[in-house]
Amino acid sequence: MLCLFCIGGCTTYGPSNALLGLDREQVIEALGPPTHTRRTESGELLEYARGPYGRHTFFITLNPSGRVERWEQVLQERNFKKIVPGVSRDDVRSLIGQSFEVVRLGRNRGEVWSYRYETPFCIWFQVEFDQEGVVRSAGDGIPPECLNRRGLLGL
């Protein structure tokens, strides 16, 4: 009960280990409604994307009894490296969540998803999909707010 008192009453930007063991309703009370949910083999995943200018997306894993088993900030290099040509749109969503910055390419050639993430440089991670929703390319790019700055990558 003491733990609920500590996190109740207001929402926070991201999770902490205080959420471990709490149920779904308590997580939503602490963090607000998730941006996306999906069933997994071992329970449920709550996604908290903090875009468009936030640099974090949190995945909170609930076990079969509906309690928080673990949480993870997924916008990280180790996940970006798994996004290579041939990976599906659904697999990208499963690795790093939804993007708040989606640009459709001309002539129905697909779309580009962009993700701001924690880095000392003025860059974002971008994924280009073909018209079938398969990754064509992925890597770092320069966001619009950095294009007019002096120096390389807005430094």
Say if residue 87 is in the same domain as residue 138.
Answer: yes
Final residue in a domain of this structure, among 51, 73, 95: 73
Say if residue 116 is in the same domain as residue 49.
Answer: no
Average pLDDT over residues 19-23: 97
Burial grade of 1 (CB within 10 A; 0-12, 13-18, 19 or more) = exposed
Residues 70 and 76: their CA atoms lie apart, in Å, by: 17
Say if residue 27 is in the same domain as residue 58.
Answer: yes
Say if residue 25 is in the same domain as residue 94.
Answer: no
Residues 117 and 107: their CA atoms lie apart, in Å, by: 29
Write out pLDDT tens, residues 92-124. Answer: 999 999 999 999 999 999 999 999 999 999 999
Final residue in a domain of this structure, among 73, 108, 124: 73
What confidence score (pLDDT) does residue 1 get? 41
Q: How many domains, the chain?
A: 2
Say if residue 82 is in the same domain as residue 106.
Answer: yes
3-state secondary structure 64-128: CCCEEEEEEECCCHHHHCCCCCCCEHHHHHHHHCCCCEEEECHHHCCEEEEEECCCCCCCEEEEE
Say if residue 87 is in the same domain as residue 66.
Answer: no
pLDDT range class, residue 149, cuts 50, 70, 90: low
Say if residue 27 is in the same domain as residue 91.
Answer: no
Say if residue 108 is in the same domain as residue 147.
Answer: yes
Residues found in the chain: 155
Write out pLDDT tens, residues 42-89. Answer: 999 999 999 888 899 999 999 999 999 999 999 999 999 999 999 999
pLDDT range class, residue 8, cuts 50, 70, 90: very low
User: What would the two tokens of residue 14 be?
Assistant: 């991201």
pLDDT range class, residue 2, cuts 50, 70, 90: very low
CATH number (domain holding residue 63): 3.30.1450.10
Give percent of the chain above pLDDT 90. Answer: 78
Say if residue 47 is in the same domain as residue 94.
Answer: no
Burial grade of 31 (CB within 10 A; 0-12, 13-18, 19 or more) = buried
Residue 143 sits in which domain range?
Answer: 77-154
Q: Are 112 and 124 in contact (CB under 8 A)?
A: no
Say if residue 97 is in the same domain as residue 146.
Answer: yes
Residues 69 and 75: their CA atoms lie apart, in Å, by: 19
Residues 24 and 62: their CA atoms lie apart, in Å, by: 7
